[in-house]
Amino acid sequence: MKEDTLSDVDKKSENYVPGQTTVQEVLGYVSAHLPDLEVKLLSSRRGEILVDHSIKGEVLTRLKEEGFDHFAALSCIDLIDDDRIQLVYHVWSYGSKGHILVKTELPRKDPSTDTVYRIYRPAITYEREIKEMFGVDFPGNPRLTQFILEDWEGPPPMLKDFDTEAYAVDHFNMVRRDPPSKPPQPKKGGES
Amino acid sequence: MDDFRSTEIIFGPQHPGIHGNFAMRLELEGDMVRRARVVPGYLHRAFEKLMERRTWHQNIALVPRICVPDPDVNEVAYSMAIEEIMGLEVPRRGDYIRTIVLELSRLASHLMGLGGLGGAIGLYTLPMWTNGERDYILDLFEALTGGRVYHMYTWPGGVRWDMPENWPRKVLKVLDHIEAQLPSYYSLFFESKVTDARLKGLAPITTSWAVEHGVTGPNLRATGLEVDLRRDDPYAAYEDLDFDVITLKQGDGMARALVRWYEVGQSIRIIRDAMEKMPGGPVIAKTPPPLAFTVPPGDHYAHVESSKGEYGYYVISKGGKYPYRVHVRGPSFTHGIDVLEKMLINQELADVALITGGLDVCPPDIDR
Amino acid sequence: MSPGHRQVIMMTDFVKKTIRPFRALRFLARKPHTIISPHEQHNDIEGEPLPTERYRGIHINDWETCISCGLCARICPCDAIEMVEVEGEQKKRPEVSYGRCCFCGFCEDVCPRDSMHLTSNYVMIDKNSETFTFLPENDLEEFQKEYIVETSQLRYNDKDVKKAEKGPSAKKGVKGKKKK
């Protein structure tokens, strides 16, 4: 990956003007142009769009053009009962002070979806974390390297079916505290 | 790159110039950094996983540990998300006390951050002094909450206890004391020629670059964009209070330090204003007891302006006594990895600690 | 630049370089923030002794009012409290392990009979690690007798200790603020 340095960036336009499109306008636009999407207005400043993961890139590009250019977070939720993995893209507009959650769902088996880091740069790190913690693959992301877990060999640990206790007992020689069968202890043990 | 010309050094996690527990692999050419790679993970305690197995209230004891210098934003953001899902209304007095606690915490964090910056340029008097003042704030926290560093004071629905009787007087006294010391700190740090030479023009960023890379908080305000979640998406009692959003144009290391400096003054102003306008009444809404506390299904993303940037909690409930999932968005998650790696390119090795400190990177919220 | 202007600049330069450094002398009278614990009392800005009443330290539990409901053990986020059987007692009593305790005070909050309390005492030093698992009782006196830190265990400069033991008047906290 070629790294663009700060001096390259300086040549880009200096004047930043936050977009003024409100949440209502964006949701209206989305429901008019993509009628099969489910949109919800949660409050005057918050909206929610449910998209299929194949077209989330288009929706996010449009949102960025409309001024929702702060990528606040990318959350991943393991919906084990529905056998799905949900990704939530949080975007915020500095101009209209609105927050939109773009939700998309992936199958739980071999989840994979295109990266959005070319649209929203901060996603590069969030995707890197989710790859490690949930096992979701993001083709196109150049930084899907080892992140927090060093020398990790087990399954992705944030999945709901990951048995934390069994893993700890297996790998770290953990001593389990077992309250019911514990004999009464002397009040103060040993010499001081 | 020719192997003979480049050297790779590992900077941290035990380096005195590093800002917390993380490491950087720097590829150097002479004295210049050509490539930087951040190695986080030294503080990974799997908080998000732990929170799924603890009740809503037990998590209050867990979340402040995500950010050590500025712990209260975690409790407040987490509680705000729960309140929004439940439709709980916090009593006004509770909101005001939260605001005061948040601002005291911001004050302590900024003083510590500026001290760290002083240490990075070799001005060791400043960290001694600012940490000494911070200790008075910790004394205040101790009198109010019972804890010095981790307070566990905010509960879903309000705050745990009301203020002690003589506490407001003590707060104002500490503020007066800190305000009286500020001019000498200013002349010590910002009027120093060393500070000028080291910080002016250090790794400047533009607003559009900062927005694109997810820079938030004081670092974004230092580039000239007037954004502040306290004003843009008011929470607690900020909408009633009087304060300015500090912005500077340059976007360099000096601007980032100065924005923090002026915010210290604004925090003092907010606390005084809140003390004056403090309403009466209860401090916590009526909620079920902690062990019978359940939250209806729903999700909410609550964000607050911490001393380092935007702090967000995305809480998902499927009903019941435990959260289904909690996602924490820390400001250092963007500042500390992607932004830092880019900003370090073509900088001198001696400036690495200054840039990291200037961004106020706090590794615990990267690792969680 | 006019000569007058230059003179002004020279004057301000003179003030900056020659007079200002002398202002630093006033810091000679300022006492350090650090204190010699436990010889010296830690005071807040008004000179009131710390820790305050609300400080969350070692537990006490009134065995007469305690009904052994076990709520404290259930709320404990760190799993530090365990209900154990005690010889000569019919009820189980909470036992606190201070290796786990995070001093959040939730046990105090949920206690229905108000018997569990966190005192403002936090000093405990001992060589034996089993000391730090104990059954909180009515008062800490017995515990303190055995396990409170002995002053000889901490190594300070003798001169500093003598100065501190002279009394609070020997050292002032904040400049200009008198204690008590």
Mapping DSSP onto H, E and C, the string for B15-39 reads CCCCCCCCEEEEEEECCEEEEEEEE
Using CB atoms, pick whichever of A73, A76, A148 lies closest to residue B40.
A148
Tens of pLDDT, residue by residue, chain A (192 residues):
445 555 444 444 467 778 788 888 888 888 888 777 888 888 888 888 888 888 888 888 888 888 888 898 999 998 888 889 999 999 998 888 889 999 998 888 888 888 888 888 888 889 888 988 888 888 888 888 888 888 887 788 888 888 887 888 888 877 766 544 444 444 444 333
**Both structure tokens of A165:** 């206790």
Taking a C-beta distance cutoff of 8 angstroms, is the pair A190, C128 a contact?
yes
Range of the domain at A132: 18-172
Please indicate if any CB of chain C lies within 8 Å of the CB of A145: no
Encoded amino acid at B257, one letter: A
In DSSP notation, A53-103 reads TTTHHHHHHHHHHTT--EEEEEEEEEETTTTEEEEEEEEE-TTT--EEEEE
Count of beta carbons in the 10 Å neighbourhood of residue B269:
17
- What are the boundaries of each domain within chain C? 1-30, 34-175
Tens of pLDDT, residue by residue, chain C (180 residues):
566 777 777 777 777 777 777 777 777 877 777 877 767 778 888 878 878 888 888 888 888 888 888 888 888 888 888 888 887 778 888 888 888 888 888 888 888 888 888 887 777 776 777 777 777 776 666 666 555 555 445 556 667 667 666 655 444 444 433 333
Using CB atoms, pick whichever of C86, C133, C134 lies closest to residue A184.
C86
Cβ–Cβ of A72/B346 closer than 8 Å? no
Computed from CA positions of residues B170, B114, C104, B89, in that sequence, does the dihedral angle turn out positive or negative?
Answer: positive
Tell me what pLDDT residue B100 has: 92
pLDDT digits (tens, 9 = 90+) for B83-123: 989 888 889 999 999 999 999 999 999 998 888 888 888 88
Cβ–Cβ of B316/A77 closer than 8 Å? yes
Helical H segments across C112-172, by residue range: 141-147, 158-165
Taking a C-beta distance cutoff of 8 angstroms, is the pair B106, B70 a contact?
yes
Closest CA in chain B for residue A16: B208
In DSSP notation, C23-70 reads HGGGGGGPPPS---TTTS--B-TTS-BSS-TT---SEEE-TTT-----
- Give the number of domains in chain A: 1
Rounded Cα–Cα distance for residues A44 and A98 (Å): 8
Rounded Cα–Cα distance for residues C31 and C28 (Å): 8
Q: How many residues does chain B have?
A: 368
Give a yes or no: residue A69 inside a domain. Answer: yes
Mapping DSSP onto H, E and C, the string for chain B reads CCCCCEEEEEECCCCCCCCCCCEEEEEEECCEEEEEEEECCCCCCCHHHHHCCCCCCHHHHCHHHHCCCCCHHHHHHHHHHHHHHHCCCCCHHHHHHHHHHHHHHHHHHHHHHHHHHHHHCCCCHHHHHHHHHHHHHHHHHHHHHCCCCCCCCEECCEECCCCCCCHHHHHHHHHHHHHHHHHHHHHHHCCCHHHHHHHCCCCCCCHHHHHHCCCCCHHHHCCCCCCCHHHHCCCCCHHHCCCCCCCCCCCCHHHHHHHHHHHHHHHHHHHHHHHHHCCCCCCECCCCCHHHCCCCCEEEEEEEECCCCEEEEEEEECCCCCCCEEEEECCHHHHHHHHHHHHCCCCEHHHHHHHHHHCCCCCHHHHC
Closest CA in chain B for residue A96: B232
Rounded Cα–Cα distance for residues A77 and A42 (Å): 20
Phi, psi of A153 (to 5 degrees): -115, -15
Using CB atoms, pick whichever of C86, C87, C134 lies closest to residue A188.
C134
Q: Which residues of C touch B (CB under 8 A)?
A: 20, 33, 44-46, 50-56, 71, 74-78, 102-106, 109-110, 118, 174
Structural domains in chain B?
45-339 (1.10.645.10)
Quick one: which H or E segment has residue A41? strand A38-43
Q: Which of residues 187-206 of B touch C (CB under 8 A)?
A: 187
Q: What residues contact B300, with CB distance under 8 A and at least 6 apart?
A: B81, B84, B85, B314, B315
Cβ–Cβ of C134/A191 closer than 8 Å? no
**Both structure tokens of B264:** 């210290």
* Peptide bond before residue B127 is cis, with ω within 30 degrees of 0: no
CATH of the domain at A61: 3.30.460.80
Nearest Cα to B175, choosing from B102, B71, B267?
Answer: B267
Q: Which fold has domain C34-175?
A: Alpha-Beta Plaits (3.30.70)
Quick one: which H or E segment has residue C11? helix C3-14
Closest CA in chain A for residue B48: A158
Cβ–Cβ of C104/B57 closer than 8 Å? no
Distance from the Cα of A163 to chain C's closest Cα (Å) equals 19
Please indicate if any CB of chain A lies within 8 Å of the CB of C141: no
Tell me what pLDDT residue A4 has: 52
Give a yes or no: residue A137 inside a domain. Answer: yes
Strand partners, B368: none
Instruction: Quote the DSSP letter at residue C170.
Output: G
Whole-number Cα distances in Å, B209 to A156, B3, B205, B263, B360: 33, 32, 7, 23, 18
Strand partners, C169: none
Chain A / chain B CB contacts < 8 angstroms: 108
Burial class of residue B139 in the structure, from the number of CB atoms within 10 Å of its CB (0-12 exposed, 13-18 middle, 19+ buried):
buried
Tell me what pLDDT residue A89 has: 92
Q: What residues contact A183, with CB distance under 8 A and at least 6 apart?
A: none
Cβ–Cβ of B343/A6 closer than 8 Å? yes
Nearest Cα to B117, choosing from B21, B202, B214, B221?
Answer: B202
Identify the three-state secondary structure at position A112.
strand
Give a yes or no: residue A156 inside a domain. Answer: yes
Q: What residues contact C22, with CB distance under 8 A and at least 6 apart?
A: none
Task: Count how many Cα atoms sit within 13 Å of the Cα of residue C155 in the half-sphere of its side chain.
Answer: 0
Instruction: Quote the DSSP letter at residue C85.
Output: E
Exposure string (b/e) for B144-155, b if CB count within 10 Å is 16 or more? bbbbbebbbbbb
Tens of pLDDT, residue by residue, chain B (368 residues):
555 678 888 887 877 767 778 888 888 888 888 888 888 888 888 888 888 888 888 889 888 888 888 888 999 999 999 998 988 888 999 999 999 999 999 999 999 888 888 888 888 888 888 888 888 999 889 888 888 888 888 888 888 888 888 889 999 999 999 998 888 888 888 888 888 888 888 888 888 888 888 899 899 888 888 888 888 888 888 888 888 888 888 888 888 888 988 999 999 999 999 999 888 888 888 888 888 888 899 889 999 998 888 899 999 998 888 899 999 998 888 888 888 888 888 888 888 888 888 888 888 888 88
Tell me what pLDDT residue C150 has: 54
Q: What residues contact C20, with CB distance under 8 A and at least 6 apart?
A: B187
Rounded Cα–Cα distance for residues C111 and C133 (Å): 20
Torsion angle of C-alpha atoms B157, A75, B228, A94, degrees rounded to 10: -130
